[in-house]
Amino acid sequence: MSSASATVVGTWAFSVEPVKLAGRLVNSGERCVDIVEKSLNVAEEDERYGPYFVGRGGKRNARGELEQDAAVMRGDDLAFGAVTALQGVSRPVSVARLVMEKSRHSMLTGQGAQDFALQHGFHLDQNITRVLSQSCGESVTPENETAHDTLGIIVLDKEGSVSAGVTTSGMAGKARGRVGDSALPGCGLYTDSEVGAACCSGDGDQIMKFCPSFHIVELMRQGMNPECACHTAVKRIIQRLGAAPVFELAVIALNTKGEVGAATTVEGWTDVKGGPKYPGFPYAVWTQGMEADPEIRVAKKIT
């Protein structure tokens, strides 16, 4: 058993309920990869998370279809599984876990991902296979909203193992088959139980060029704490961009000591469902022994 306190971290303030469930599961003695899956399922199955680009109520592509990306990574053995552009099946992170455990591949996409899910007991969900129509007044076009397009969860369990998972519907009005950074190892997430884990959210088409999650974990391997590693990785991206516009990016990290860090290029975040405004990137943290709801911390914009 690890001497570090079990800890859970989630991207954005809307991760509070999934993080809260994860904390209860940690206390019950469940292992980190199970906790990651079950906590992300909470959002995937609840249409109220749709405005946050997550789950069955998530954003539709340019053709009015819901295509979801999800991934899970187990830090003990670096096992990884992902699905991208998955249509018609709820709980995509559970399908991603099955890819990790039951497939000789690490990532499946589109029709292949759906076929795999159906072969392993999942069913087509008519509520999410329905194609939205602009003629019926339903929006499938891009919206001018702040970055909050991926729910990422990192769990350090009582045994000292670390796992991470992400789930997203991606941006509104995206081209059919578009895949962002979320489900790409080293980009949207990376974990190694020797060190810790990191997750990213933001402009996925830009994030994938920099592999920030892998970079952050490697910086922690070199001795940086999570906060310093997150700031260093984000600052390096800003420096590399030079005169080019800085894109929206938010990162969280957790090491095997139970230390947490975050960094962002986001000026502020307003809950699209009428919640509070935050002066930066809000993320949720639960630590072993915490009796109240998870704590919301805010990372200020790096310039």
- pLDDT tens digit string along 253-288? 999 999 999 999 999 999 988 889 999 999 999 999
Q: Please give the structure tokens belonging to residue 225.
A: 């704490």
180 in a structural domain: yes
More confident residue, 26 or 143: 26
Per-residue confidence band for 102, with pLDDT thresholds at 50, 70 and 90: very high
Percentage helix, strand, coil, to 5, in the chain? 30, 25, 45
- Say how far apart CA 267 and CA 89 lie, in whole Å: 35
Q: Is residue 227 part of a domain?
A: yes
Q: pTM of this prediction?
A: 0.95
Q: Is 168 noted as a catalytic residue in this protein?
A: no
Q: What is the DSSP string of 164-185?
A: EEEEE--STTPPTT---STTSB
- Whether residue 276 lies inside any domain: the answer is yes
Residue 3: per-residue pLDDT: 65
Residue among 236, 233, 244 nearest 199 (CA) = 233
Domain count, the chain: 1
* Average pLDDT of the residues of the chain: 94
Active site residue: 7, 11, 84, 150, which one? 150
2 falls within a domain: no
- The rounded distance, in Å, linking the Cα atoms of 222 and 146 is 33
pLDDT at 138 exceeding the cut of 60: no
**Residues 185-240: tens digit of each pLDDT:** 999 999 999 999 999 999 999 999 999 999 999 999 999 999 999 999 999 999 99
pLDDT at residue 142, as a whole number? 54
Residue 1 covered by a domain? no
111 within domain boundaries: yes
Looking up residue 244, the CATH number of its domain turns out to be 3.60.20.30
Look at residue 78 and tell me if it is in a domain: yes
The verdict on residue 252 lying in a domain is yes
- The residue segments making up the domain with residue 182 are 7-299
With a pLDDT cut of 70, the percent of the chain lying above it is 93
